[in-house]
Structure 1
Amino acid sequence: IGIALYVRIPTCHDKPGTTQIAQLTQQTDSQISMVLPTIHEVDLFRCFCPVFLHSQMLWELVLLGEPLVVMAPSPSESSETVLALVSCISPLKYHSDFRPYFTIHDSEFKEYTTRTQAPPSVILGVTNPFFAKTLQHWPHIIRIGDIKLAGEIPKQVKVKKLKNLKTLDSKPGVYTSYKPFLNRDEDIIKQLQKGVQQKRPSEAQSVILRRYFLELTQSFIIPLERYVASLMPLQKSISPWKSPPQLRQFLPEEFMKTLEKAGPQLTSRLKGDWRGLYRHFLKSPNFDGWFRTRRKEMTQKLEALHLEALCEEDLLLWIQKHTEVETVDLVLKLKSKLLQAHQEHLPVKPGTMEKLRTHIDAIILALPEDLQGILLKTGTE
């Protein structure tokens, strides 16, 4: 009907919190082009509304990858609440499993309901009252009633001890013995309460809450980013004739020492046991996933710098001083590096790949003809 929708479905390689806009190459006058940054973004405030007094505690539980169950009246409410929880630690990616709508027919049903081992790091959304009995041993349970948004705040559910969770007649609430590491931020609560009294739209409340979570996560992650950046070897230590240097090891105690001068207090006014929160986080799947991603990015950066250093060398002069065998070995190594750069999309400067291809061709042409024929066929992309 005259409207073209360009939709880019996010992939597992996307960084949370970044929206990659599709490039619109063709656009005629008869088309109105629209870009949808995401297929479905949950209404954060609507999901957190019954429990927003505890939203900061829930942020901690998600950050630490704690086992969490959401018991809701309908699949849509359970799904939206689970997705809201997973997205609340953005731009950090949630690296554990999450099931927006988990049923008794799921293959992991036995594994998740057994009492013989501790519950895994997963967020489950359920609606079947049967789960109130079978998941009683889980450490953190959120029970929500019908999500409604009128002009008043729904009655805020309290944090209750797990022993109060009866099988079927439990009232809405957050059932946990967890003691938050950070003191509660009263300012955000007042801001959201004021918004409800003034009948501020739910979308506007969601923007406030999302920004609050984003700032909280960034305050938490910046000291880690700063420390990890210090593990990178100096650029001058990169030699074209040696393998790229390794990253220094992540040492938890060394990191903890950096918090005194460059901790979250630089960007967050929140007080509390930040150190305790970091200690728990360093043992969580979210840290493991985050650090693996950062380490891969930094290793690729080192590979790219090494490749650029090789391109700056006078390789034709080098082969004059070395044997044919060493020259053939160099060509094979350069071809392997070129293939790696292509496959892994290494962050090299523009023109580097072309420069390297020119180097390889020049070296091959400097070799005897029989070797040229073999090398031109070997290791091509």
Structure 2
Amino acid sequence: MATSENDRLRSSVSSHGSMDGSGIKQEPFRSKAILPWDRLSNWLHCVCVVTFDLELGQALEFVYPNHVKLSEKEKMNICYLSFPDSNSGCMGDTQFNFRIRQCHGRSHSYNNRKVYDRNSPVALQSDSGHYYGFVYFRQIKDKSSRRGYFQKSLVVLSKVPYITLFTRLASIIAPGYFEYGEPSAEAACHDIDQWPSPMPGQLLHLPIMGSVLQIRIPTKQDKPGSISAAVKTTPEHGGSHPTIVPSVHEVEPFRCLQPVLPHIQLIWELVLTGEPVVVMAPSPSICSDTIHALVHTISPLRYMSDFRPYFTIHDSEFKEYTTRTQAPPSVILGVTNPFFAKTLQHWPHVIRIGEPVNTDKSNSKMLKPKKPGSLKTLESKPGLYTQYKPFLNKDKTIIKRLAKGVQTKRPQEVQDAMLRRHLLELTQSFMIPLERYVASLMPLQRNISPWKHPPRLKPFDTEAFLKTLEHSGPQLTSGLKGDWIGLYKKFFSSKNFEGWFWQRQLEVNHKLSVLHLEALCNADLLQWVSDKQEVQVVDLVLKLREKMADILDQNLQVKPELEQRLTKHIEAIITTLPSDLQAVLKSQ
């Protein structure tokens, strides 16, 4: 190598100061101290209180912790979504939840988000684009108020979809706030700031307002449909038993979907393929629970389109979602205002839920879906309004079994488990051929060379996949007949497929990176550099350091001994270089 090239190399390496393998200058290492509200931010974004002002309407009265920033649009959406659209039937206390877009340009990453998301099922990973709001609304008569009513909502705002846990949390914090005011909500936030990180798979005890909640967050490795929390526990240090929250995120599917159970398979197809669906319900509570039950019908697949458990005419996306100038977007909306019966009657799929009925008298007759055009009056009957023709033949067995359970007063937990299992088996039968095909797109391990870039997953060829169905299709695990190929083709154009395949690509490419790392560690790198020029040797060192950085940045699950071997390789290669270059590289 020429002297001038040597000088340029030394200058280039030294002028960048301390760099990682990607060429990004690193700050000196500092141990990260846990700051106030760090632990709280792993669970919640903030706690808000919304009140009704006679002159201003809904107004944000209180946000805690004080440093939390919300945009004006976020504040407006929180205010309007924290009150029932029609207050007449909501005397007393009402709980429900909503989901809003996070305004762009601001990042609220959780401290342990990468580790959490790596170990968490995809449906429970933190949501980078939305907030979930868990509302506890109180409306009682109050003679001291000019309006004659006390009307306030406490809202727990988070970026993780722990529907059951945060609904319970709001029910603990809100009554204290309504009785004792701001100090009570502040004390609750200080309790949450002592909670451990939300680590999947661990049994966690969460102290809150004098009681303790016991939870277990599912892991990616959990068998789908398994019970997520331990039932037995022993009190700590002679204290009282904690309150067990059996699931952090699941609503009761049988209760929520009972009014439309005869159409459950058709509804499953609508959710799977990302069709636009609106749910019209009599209350925000029924509305939001039903939306979550619908989203979970395709579990463990993550529903990738937008969904709004509770949506009002004041929502900032109202015009976007109700315009007639284009086809309805891929979204599931939950509404209670009768105004939507007219505004959304052009939508292709409408689920109308009535008031809760006495389950002893209810039945599950094989009702036919009604045409959307018949949803014109406010007195429209509960049911499914659609002209959608399902691809699969109806499985009447599960409907009959659940109907018999109603007659014999079977416990709701059992009904829930039966319905979940049926939907899970349906989703798994659909997804197994796709998983098998993706596995075939993975390069062979023997083709992974330490001297080449790590290989990547081959492209997904829809026609090639469809040809595999004859011998390894859903008929191997499901007895359902019908046009499975047509259903797959419709699925391929949905965001659910895009999201699922993106996640699979990520996982497979991570695995290939680890295999490539193993190949590098097993290679005789010193032999390789023995006849190479300095610029090539330095380039190898920087690339190996980039590999080390990838282990952290991409959360690659690598055995500690591999990291140690890679570090030793780097150190040994540096010793083959001239002393001045060694000094520069070792100082980084």
Q: The residue matched to 2:350 in structure 1 has which SS? A: strand
Q: Distance in 1 between matches of 2:244 and 2:447?
A: 45
Alignment-derived partner of residue 4 in structure 1: none
Q: Distance in 1 between matches of 2:451 and 2:520?
A: 8
Please list the CA deviations of residues 139-192 of structure 1 after superposition, one character each: whole Å capped at 9, or x if unmatched.
000001012343232565641011111142211121000011111101111111
Name the amino acid aligned to 1:195.
G
1:362 offset after TM fit, Å? 1.7
Name the amino acid aligned to 1:343.
D
Alignment-derived partner of residue 461 in structure 2: 251
1:331 and 2:511 equivalent? no
Please list the CA deviations of residues 85-109 of structure 1 after superposition, one character each: whole Å capped at 9, or x if unmatched.
0001001000001000000111110
Q: Distance in 1 between matches of 2:446 and 2:203?
A: 38
Gaps of 5+ in 1: 1-7
Q: Distance in 2 between matches of 1:120 and 1:277?
A: 19
- State which of 277, 285, 297 in structure 1 corresponds to 2:487: 277
Q: Distance in 1 between matches of 2:473 and 2:342?
A: 42
Classify 1:264/1:339 alpha carbon distance in 2 versus 1 (closer, same or farther; 3 Å). Answer: same
Q: Which is further off, 97-106 or 317-326?
A: 317-326
1:377 offset after TM fit, Å? 3.4
Structure 1 residues 18-167: aligned runs within 5 Å: 20-22=200-202, 28-30=236-238, 36=245, 38-154=247-363, 158-167=368-377
Gaps of 5+ in 2: 1-41, 44-112, 125-198, 206-234
Q: Distance in 1 between matches of 2:401 and 2:122?
A: 26
Classify 1:107/1:202 alpha carbon distance in 2 versus 1 (closer, same or farther; 3 Å). Answer: same
- Cα pair 2:364 2:399 within 8 Å, conserved: no
Name the amino acid aligned to 1:68.
V
Q: Distance in 2 between matches of 1:163 and 1:90?
A: 31
Classify 1:316/1:28 alpha carbon distance in 2 versus 1 (closer, same or farther; 3 Å). Answer: farther
Classify 1:50/1:282 alpha carbon distance in 2 versus 1 (closer, same or farther; 3 Å). Answer: same
Q: The residue matched to 2:333 in structure 1 has which SS? A: strand
- Cα pair 1:89 1:213 within 8 Å, conserved: yes
1:355 and 2:565 equivalent? yes
Name the amino acid aligned to 2:425.
E
Classify 1:357/1:149 alpha carbon distance in 2 versus 1 (closer, same or farther; 3 Å). Answer: farther
Classify 1:225/1:273 alpha carbon distance in 2 versus 1 (closer, same or farther; 3 Å). Answer: same
- State which of 10, 15, 21 in structure 1 corresponds to 2:121: 15
Q: Distance in 1 between matches of 2:244 and 2:586?
A: 45
Alignment-derived partner of residue 215 in structure 1: 425
Q: Distance in 1 between matches of 2:336 and 2:369?
A: 20
Q: Distance in 2 between matches of 1:351 and 1:153?
A: 62
Q: The residue matched to 2:302 in structure 1 has which SS? A: coil
Q: The residue matched to 1:240 in structure 2 has which SS? A: coil
Q: Which is further off, 367-376 or 192-201?
A: 367-376
Q: Which is further off, 219-228 or 35-44?
A: 35-44
1:23 offset after TM fit, Å? 5.2
Q: Distance in 2 between matches of 1:126 and 1:343?
A: 41
1:367 and 2:577 equivalent? yes
Q: The residue matched to 1:224 in structure 2 has which SS? A: helix
1:377 and 2:587 equivalent? yes
Q: Distance in 2 between matches of 1:155 and 1:129?
A: 26
Q: When you count strand as a share of all residues, which structure comes out higher?
A: 2
1:323 offset after TM fit, Å? 1.8
Name the amino acid aligned to 2:432.
I
- Cα pair 1:305 1:348 within 8 Å, conserved: no
Name the amino acid aligned to 1:269.
G
1:195 and 2:375 equivalent? no
1:120 offset after TM fit, Å? 0.6
Q: Distance in 2 between matches of 1:273 and 1:305?
A: 39
Please list the CA deviations of residues 3-55 of structure 1 after superposition, one character each: whole Å capped at 9, or x if unmatched.
xxxxx969766325789322569x95435567646334211100111110101
Q: When you count helix as a share of all residues, which structure comes out higher?
A: 1
- Cα pair 1:20 1:37 within 8 Å, conserved: no
Please list the CA deviations of residues 294-337 of structure 1 after superposition, one character each: whole Å capped at 9, or x if unmatched.
01111111111111100001222222121221111100000011
1:376 offset after TM fit, Å? 2.1
Classify 1:253/1:239 alpha carbon distance in 2 versus 1 (closer, same or farther; 3 Å). Answer: same
- Cα pair 2:303 2:496 within 8 Å, conserved: yes
1:249 offset after TM fit, Å? 1.2
Alignment-derived partner of residue 268 in structure 1: 478
- Cα pair 2:275 2:330 within 8 Å, conserved: yes
Name the amino acid aligned to 1:294.
R
Identity among equivalent positions (%) equals: 60
* Equivalences, count: 370
Name the amino acid aligned to 2:202.
A
Name the amino acid aligned to 1:238.
I
Name the amino acid aligned to 2:348.
P
